[in-house]
C-alpha cells in the first residue's frame, strides 16, 4: 500500500469512526429523550422487565386503558359454498367456476353418489354462505347466516329451499383456487326469503337468511394487548392480577380469575357470564380498572368520581370506573346518583348498579326503558344481566305497554335471563322455531323475527282471523278460509293426495297446522304476512321490532301516534350497544 493510499484509508477510517460515534451519541440522546417523554418514566434506561408499576405511574392512578387496547372485539367473516335442495325447479346446473370445483370436491369427500347428476338437478342450486362471528362468541353458540346464489346464476328463487350442512371458514382465493382456513362454524337449515319478494325480482328471491342457522365450533379468544412502549412481563402480570382481583368465576367447580397473562404483551380474558350479552361493556369495564393502585390513591380517585358521576358530561365514564371498583363505597356513590334530577345521571348510575347486581337499579332502569328510547336498549340488557326477581318482574311489566319495541325488547331480555321460565317459555315447533304465547295485558300483537333466532311471539289474546281468506304459504301449502268459520290447510305433494287439516280460524291453530303438515318457519312467516296484507289479522304484526338507541323503524299506517312519537329522543347514548339487541350479524 502506498503512503497516499494509506493516508486515504486512515482518513476514511477516521471519518467512519467519527460518524459511528456521532450515531451512537445521537441514538443514546434520542433514547433518553424518548424515555423522558413518557409520563412518570425515570431518566435512567432500564430493560422492560425492570420497569415497575410505581415508575410507570404518575400522580394520577393509571387505568388499564392507558397501557392496553382490546383484542378480539372485531367481527370475523366466515364463508362457505354449499347446495340448497327442494327448489321445485327454480335451481340450476352451475357453470364451471372455482365454486363448482370446490363443491364437487366436497360432494366427492362426502361420497355422494353421482355428484354431477345431483348438482345438475333443477331442484338444487349452488349457493354462497356468509356469517359473522361476534366478539366473545362461545363454542356451541348460534348465529345467523346469509345465503345467496353466485353472480350470473340461472337459479330464480331460493324460496322453500333447505341448505345442506356447510362448514364455515375464513376463505381466500389464491392461485385461482379457493383456500380455506380452520372450520369455525357449521350451518344448515330452512332459508327465509323475503315473503314480499316476487319471482320477477331475482335480487330478493335468490337470497335469504337462516336465523340461528349456524353453530360456532370454537370459542373466540379475547383479551388485552399491551402497547409496544409498555411491553413487559411484569406489567402483564400486574394487569392480570388487577383484573382477577375484580373478576372471577367458577370453572369446573373451582373459583378462578378471568385473566391470564400469556406473555409480555398479551393478557387473555375469559368472558364473565354477567356480561355475556354486552361484551363491549365488559371490555370498557376491564379497561377502567386501575393497575397497582394504593388504598390512599383509590380514596382520592373516589372523591373525584363522586363529583363526576353527577355531571351529565362525565357520568358515563365515572359510572364505568365505579363499576370497575365494584366495592360497597362505589355502590353507595352510584346509588346516591340514581336520585339525581338529571335523566342521564340517573341512567348511567343505575346501569352500573345493575351489573353489580344491586336491586336499587331496577326502578330507574324500568322507567327509562319505558319512557326514553335512547336508553331503552341498554336498560333492558342491564336488567336481563341481573340475577334478581325484582328485575324479572320489572321486565314482565313492560310486556303490556303500547310500544312494540318495548314489549319485544322486554321479552328478549326475559328470555336471555331465563329461557325456561314458564311465563315466557316457548313451544318447540318440530325443531324449526319456537312459538311463545304470552298471557299479558295490552293490545294484541304478533311478533316475527328476521334475526337472532326463529320465533313467533303472540302478545295477549289473539282475535280470530277475519274471513274469507285464501293464502299461499309456499312449499305447496294452501290456506282456504273461503267457506264457513274454519280454515282448511292443505299441503300438495307431487304424485300423492293432498294432506289436509281443518282448524279454527285462530292464529295459533293456523301455525300448528302448517307445522303438522311439514311446514317450517319461512312457510309460517309467509302465511302470516300474506294474511296481514289481506286484512285478515286483527292484531298488530311487527317484524324485528328491536330496541336501539333513538331507533326509528318503518311502521304500517295502523301504528298509533303515541308509538311513533315515543321513538324520538334528545339523548345520545355514551355506552356500547349490547349484543342482545345488536344487528351486526345482518
Render 394-449 in DSSP notation, one character per residue: HHHHGGGSS-HHHHHHHHHHHHHH-TT-TTTPPEEETTTEEEEEE--SSS-EEEE-
- DSSP code of 505? S
Claim to verify: residue 100 and residue 191 sit in the same structural domain:
yes
What's residue 152's pLDDT?
A: 85
pTM value? 0.80
In a domain, 113, yes or no: yes
Considering the domain boundaries, does residue 197 fall inside one? yes
Whether omega for the bond prior to residue 45 falls within 30 degrees of 0, making it cis, is: no
Residues 5 and 107 in one domain: no
Cβ neighbors of 110 (< 8 A, separation 6 or more) are none
Instruction: State whether 86 and 177 are in the same domain.
Output: yes
Banded model confidence at residue 197, pLDDT cuts 50, 70, 90: low
Place of cell 380474558: 269
Confidence grade of residue 28 (pLDDT, cut at 50, 70, 90):
very low
Strand 540-543 to strand 445-448: parallel, antiparallel, or no bridges (unpaired)?
parallel
- Measured CA to CA, the distance from residue 346 to residue 350 in angstroms comes to 6
pLDDT tens by residue, 530-557 = 999 999 999 999 999 987 755 433 333 3
Statement: residue 523 has pLDDT above 90: yes
Residue-range definition of the domain harbouring residue 3: 1-37
The verdict on residue 285 lying in a domain is: no
> Cα 445 from chain centroid?
26
In 3-state terms, the chain is what percent helix, strand and coil (to 5)?
40, 20, 40
Task: Please give the pLDDT value at position 572.
Answer: 61
pLDDT at position 584 is 44
pLDDT of 47 higher than 90: no
Q: Are residues 11 and 127 in the same domain?
A: no
In this structure, what C-alpha cell is assigned to residue 459? 302478545
Tell whether 548 is covered by a domain: no
How many CB atoms neighbour CB 220 within 10 A? 21
Query: Which of residues 228 and 178 earns the better pLDDT score?
Result: 228
What is the structure's pLDDT at 200? 56
CB 337 within 8 A of CB 330: no
Please provide the average confidence, as pLDDT, over all residues in the chain: 84
Question: Binning pLDDT at 50, 70 and 90, where does residue 151 land?
Answer: confident
Please tell me whether residues 23 and 150 are part of one structural domain: no
Of the residues 153, 181, 216, the one at which a domain ends: 216
Taking alpha carbons only, the member of 320, 329, 311, 249 closest to residue 283 is: 320
Residue 553 lies in a domain: no
Q: How confident is the model at residue 570 (pLDDT cuts 50, 70, 90)?
A: low
Through-space distance between the first and last CA atoms of the chain, rounded to whole angstroms: 78
Q: Is 104 inside a domain boundary?
A: yes
Q: Decide which of 171, 200, 216 is a domain's last residue.
A: 216
Q: b/e map of 99-122 (b: 16 or more CB within 10 Å)?
A: bbebbbebbeeeeeeebeeebeee
Same domain membership, residue 211 and residue 112: yes
Say whether pLDDT at 56 is over 60: no
Structural domain contains residue 511: no
pLDDT band at 299 (very low <50, low <70, confident <90, very high): very high
- Do 168 and 88 lie in one domain? The reply is yes
Q: Residue 224 — very low, low, confident or very high, per pLDDT cuts 50/70/90?
A: very high
The pLDDT of 243-260, averaged and rounded, is: 90
* 84 and 191, same domain (yes or no): yes
User: What SS3 class is residue 275?
Assistant: helix
Question: On the CB side of 270, how many CA atoms lie within 13 Å of its CA?
Answer: 16
pLDDT over 90 at 39, yes or no: no
Q: Indicate whether 10 and 134 sit together in one domain.
A: no
Same domain, residue pair 12 and 83: no
Structural domain contains residue 452: no
Q: Which residues contact 373 (CB under 8 A, 6 or more apart)?
A: 405, 547, 549, 550, 551, 566, 567, 568, 569
| Same structural domain, 81 and 201 | yes
Model pLDDT for residues 479-519, shown as the tens digit of each residue: 999 988 999 999 988 777 889 999 999 999 999 999 999 99
For residue 429, list its beta bridge partners: 433
- Say yes or no: 32 and 87 in one domain: no
User: What nine digits make up the cell of 140?
Assistant: 356451541
According to the model, what pLDDT value does residue 209 have? 94
Q: Of the candidates 216, 250, 277, which is a domain's last residue?
A: 216
Share of the chain above pLDDT 90, in %: 65
Closest CA to 404 of 547, 221, 191: 547
Is the pLDDT at 29 greater than 70? The verdict is: no
CA distances from 181 to 77, 101, 168, 185, 583 (A): 12, 17, 9, 11, 26
The CB-based long-range contact list for 434-439 (8 Å cut-off, 24+ gap) reads 435/508, 435/511, 435/512, 436/411, 437/508, 438/399, 438/411
Which of 477, 544, 553 is closest to 510 using CA atoms?
477
DSSP at 570: S
Domain count of the chain?
A: 2
Amino acid at each position: 500500500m502506498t503512503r497516499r493510499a494509506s493516508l486515504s484509508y486512515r482518513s476514511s477510517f477516521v471519518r467512519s469512526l467519527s460518524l459511528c460515534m456521532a450515531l451512537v451519541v445521537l441514538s443514546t440522546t434520542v433514547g433518553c429523550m424518548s424515555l423522558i417523554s413518557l409520563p412518570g418514566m425515570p431518566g435512567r434506561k432500564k430493560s422492560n422487565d425492570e420497569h415497575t408499576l410505581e415508575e410507570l405511574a404518575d400522580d394520577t392512578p393509571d387505568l388499564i386503558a392507558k397501557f392496553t387496547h382490546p383484542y378480539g372485539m372485531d367481527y370475523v367473516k366466515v364463508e362457505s359454498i354449499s347446495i340448497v335442495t327442494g327448489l321445485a325447479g327454480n335451481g340450476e346446473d352451475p357453470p364451471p367456476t372455482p365454486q363448482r370445483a370446490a363443491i364437487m370436491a366436497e360432494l366427492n369427500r362426502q361420497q355422494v353418489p353421482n355428484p354431477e347428476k345431483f348438482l345438475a338437478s333443477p331442484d338444487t342450486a349452488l349457493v354462497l354462505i356468509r356469517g359473522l362471528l361476534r366478539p366473545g362468541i362461545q363454542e356451541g353458540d348460534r348465529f345467523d347466516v346469509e345465503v345467496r346464489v353466485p353472480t350470473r346464476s340461472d337459479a330464480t328463487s331460493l324460496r322453500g329451499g333447505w341448505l345442506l350442512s356447510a362448514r364455515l371458514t375464513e376463505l381466500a382465493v389464491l392461485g385461482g383456487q379457493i383456500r380455506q382456513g380452520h372450520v369455525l362454524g357449521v350451518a344448515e337449515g330452512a332459508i327465509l326469503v323475503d315473503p314480499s319478494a316476487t319471482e320477477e325480482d331475482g335480487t330478493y328471491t335468490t337470497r335469504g337468511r337462516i336465523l340461528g342457522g349456524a353453530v360456532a365450533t370454537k370459542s373466540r379468544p379475547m383479551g388485552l394487548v399491551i402497547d409496544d412502549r409498555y411491553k413487559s412481563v411484569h406489567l402483564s402480570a400486574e394487569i392480570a392480577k388487577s383484573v382477577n382481583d375484580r373478576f372471577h368465576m367458577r370453572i369446573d367447580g373451582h373459583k378462578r380469575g378471568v385473566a391470564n397473562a400469556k406473555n409480555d404483551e398479551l393478557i387473555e380474558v375469559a368472558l364473565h357470564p354477567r356480561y355475556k350479552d354486552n361484551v363491549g361493556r365488559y371490555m370498557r369495564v376491564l379497561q377502567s380498572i386501575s393497575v397497582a393502585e394504593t388504598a390512599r390513591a383509590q380514596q382520592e380517585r373516589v372523591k373525584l368520581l363522586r363529583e363526576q358521576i353527577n355531571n351529565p358530561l362525565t357520568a358515563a365514564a365515572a359510572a364505568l370506573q365505579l363499576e370497575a371498583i365494584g366495592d360497597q363505597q362505589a355502590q353507595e356513590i352510584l346509588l346516591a346518583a340514581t336520585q339525581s334530577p338529571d335523566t342521564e345521571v340517573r341512567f348511567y348510575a343505575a346501569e352500573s348498579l345493575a351489573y353489580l347486581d344491586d336491586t336499587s337499579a331496577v326502578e330507574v332502569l324500568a322507567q327509562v326503558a319505558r319512557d326514553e328510547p335512547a336508553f331503552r336498549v341498554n336498560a333492558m340488557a342491564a336488567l336481563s344481566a341481573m340475577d334478581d326477581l325484582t328485575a324479572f318482574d320489572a321486565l314482565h311489566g313492560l310486556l303490556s305497554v303500547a310500544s312494540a319495541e318495548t314489549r319485544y325488547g322486554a321479552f328478549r331480555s326475559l328470555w336471555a335471563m331465563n329461557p325456561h321460565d314458564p311465563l315466557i317459555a316457548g313451544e318447540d315447533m318440530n325443531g324449526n322455531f319456537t312459538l311463545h304465547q304470552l298471557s299479558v295485558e295490552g293490545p294484541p300483537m304478533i311478533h316475527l323475527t328476521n334475526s337472532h333466532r326463529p320465533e313467533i311471539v303472540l302478545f295477549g289474546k289473539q282475535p280470530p282471523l277475519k274471513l274469507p281468506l285464501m293464502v299461499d304459504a309456499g312449499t305447496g301449502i294452501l290456506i282456504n278460509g273461503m267457506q264457513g268459520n274454519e280454515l282448511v290447510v292443505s299441503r300438495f305433494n307431487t304424485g300423492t293426495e293432498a294432506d289436509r287439516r281443518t282448524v279454527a280460524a285462530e292464529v295459533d291453530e293456523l301455525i300448528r297446522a302448517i307445522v303438522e303438515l311439514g311446514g317450517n318457519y319461512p312457510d309460517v312467516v309467509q302465511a302470516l304476512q300474506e294474511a296481514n296484507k289481506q286484512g285478515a289479522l286483527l292484531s298488530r304484526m311487527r317484524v324485528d321490532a328491536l330496541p336501539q338507541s333513538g331507533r326509528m323503524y318503518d311502521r304500517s299506517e295502523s301504528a298509533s301516534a303515541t308509538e311513533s312519537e315515543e321513538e324520538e329522543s334528545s339523548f345520545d347514548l355514551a355506552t356500547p350497544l349490547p349484543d342482545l339487541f345488536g344487528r351486526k350479524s345482518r
